Structure 1
Amino acid sequence: MQLVPRRAAATAPLSLLQQRMWHLCTAYPGTASPIVVIANRITEPLDVPTFTAAVAALADRHDALRTTFTVGTDGPRQVIGPPGGLATEFVDVSGGTDAEGRARSLVAELAGALLDLDGGTLTRSRLIRLGPDDHVWCLALHHLLADGESAMVLQRDAAALYRGTPLPEPPIGYADFAAWQCADGADDGELRWWAERLRGVPPLELPTDLPRPPVKSTRGGQLDVRLDASDTQALEHFARQMRATPFMALVTALLAVLARRSGQTDLCLGTPVSGRLLEETEDAVGLFSNMIALRADLSDEPSLGELLGRVRAVVIDALARQAVPFGQVVAAVNPAEDRSRTPVFQVIVSLHTQTSGGAGADLDWRPFGQATAQILHDLVLDAWRGPDGLSLTLRYDTGLFTAATAEELAGEVLTVLRDLPGDPELPVRALAARHG
């Protein structure tokens, strides 16, 4: 079925990807919402009225920024508001003693908000003045409306609109994609493959510091570590020799650590994929990112190198079938109801390739970091490749793990990433002796 724009539509069904996110947001209630945050520090003379007008034009351009939801007897639907509805709040903290600290608090407030999914505002823009030529722009959207690549599109378009650079009309709005996806559905053969592949997948029984509650909490902590440049280069060289990717090596290291701690040989991780398989979606804003499940077999006491080979095969097979919305996969697998865990997998791993460089190439801005307030899974390991090596962020459910345990986990992953190139014949089971 062809993806055709329907610009006049004021409402739309939830996309199949949004349906899964809606379930996660409502089945595991927390004190914050999953939010995509753009927070950039702009250190150049800034025309504030022109910039706020550019942000308003950004919302007129992308219908996701004007979208709310209504819940009726047949479930939730998207409601696309008319143009002209997004204002930017201006806050001047330049006269205070700790302008940067105040700005971080204002960004954290948006990033940590609990948003009302039934008709509430789900997009907020805030411009914070720290000094005459020093501002922070924060745009926060509920994750139902955007994904990581959407943030890159929004930053690029905001810079162009501020400079007055002409932009082509987006090929589609997100409501167009949602209607198309719901009508088109998933490939039956690929859906059956996923159902068979994931049938009987066991939950991860990772020892926790605190008793697992009957309903999963969503409070999150965060730990940042780094694999230095020389170790990263060695890892990448080894992966190429094995006809693998650095992402496959990262998955291997995480699986080895989880196997060591849990004693399990049947493990499943989740990883996000961009989901932008159609040309029309490349410059659109919305929730296109999908999840795929990586189920790995660690039986027969594999070495680290052997495990990398198994992971390579699993990743290639899964990526070949990444178009199937994960919500449909979960429905097909039909795991036992357990509100203390997310279904199918409880750990997510991702190696990010998109960066903010170039997104606002004609504005002098750089990321203005903020902590993530909510985590929907037990553990999330994110990695970024940079000139100084591989930066890793481990987010963890503070209702299950202490900061000390998170530090141990992150340290063990780093150790395996260093061991893999130099000692690929090391059995995974031997990690217990090294880390015990």
Structure 2
Amino acid sequence: MRTSSHHAAVYFCFPSDTSSMDSDASTPALFAPLHLGSIVLSHRVVLAPLTRNRAEPSETYDNTWFPTGLNVLYYSERATQGGLLISEATPVSRRASGLPGVPGIYTPEQCEGWAKVTCAVHKKRAFIFCQLWHQGRVTHSRLTSLEPWSASAVPIEESLHNSKGLDPVPYDVPHPMSVSEIQETHQEYVNAARNAISSGFDGVEVHAGNGYLPDQFHHSNINVRTDAYGGTPEKRCRFTIELVKKLCAEVGKARVGVRLSPFGLFNETRGEDRQEQWTYLCRELSKLGIAYIHLIEPRFDEWRSESQKLDFLQHYKAIGEEVSLRPYRKVMLPPTKCIVAGGYHPGNCWEGVERGDHDAVAFGRFFISNPDLVDRLRTGKRLYRYERSLFYGPFGKKEIGYTVHLNREFAGESDIGRAQMV
């Protein structure tokens, strides 16, 4: 078995075409064109990045998975002319994840698989960004055969590492990254971004939220460093800002986006100074002229109800002037656009774009159960309900709940209400 290195081949496919996308005053803002970095979208309904664990294990590279024809079909089904898809979280190296069924972007085999995905998306005249992912302390040595790295030697303690087919075990105490290891990890992201563009992606999105590696630097309860990468809100943002600058230098600022979760609690993110820190981070990232910043709504949480989450935020003194994305949107400088995600559905997805609170809306759960979500929103058709138990694989029949949906039922008001919280 071999370990992997980055891939340099360039793949070509049918180009996207964004002609004939004029809109008039009667067009809802959600379906108006949008300049996003180097591309022009014909509508503002975005496929959110969704981990689905449906990739195939490699027989060549240790602890890696790669996209197959099933993944090609999944993304192609959700592609529409001038629409934007954001890939599932895509590891930048073997150390970055090891999660079964999650395809990376650091071996030739993975790049070849992703090239088939991007080709199918472009044939639908759509666009696709690759979300670059590093779990940091959230992964485990039993998956990667490598020691997890993080901002500091602070492990996850309130839960056990749990992966399908394996017994729950305590999380590893992560290795605190040296400055040279920070630079090494930045280079893994740069290599992955280069691979993504060579594989046909239109851009890359840094996953810098939800308690993953960049976010571990953001939070004061995880990052206890006293050097240039910790100790103040500005220093805790340095890892992410330096990384994004390097990605801009590699692929161009118009091809770079960043995902943030200013109010996130996932993976034991309990940092204080939230409004000060994320306001600074959004301002500094937009100064770089990147394509977009992708923000997760404050009341949205994977596991807690709205009231539970607000109680947590109050306890950790994480709430600033308001529980809203407005302070972060307000400091963003053009041309950087704002994409929002978290609990959106047909009843609440229109007004924010109309008011100019944000520029586009990313949908997750309802895009899983409704591959034709864009058309359903445009025409007012009812949505099919989603089946949470089928979100994450691996399964014996990977297509079930992925490209094949059995016993479908229309979503009711209760389903749409739950989508705002879970």
TM-score by length of 2: 0.27
Q: Counting strand residues as a fraction of each chain, which structure ranks higher?
A: 1
Q: Name the structure where helix makes up a greater proportion of residues.
A: 1
Higher RCO, 1 vs 2 (CA within 8 Å, ≥6 residues apart): 1
Which structure has the greater CA radius of gyration? 1
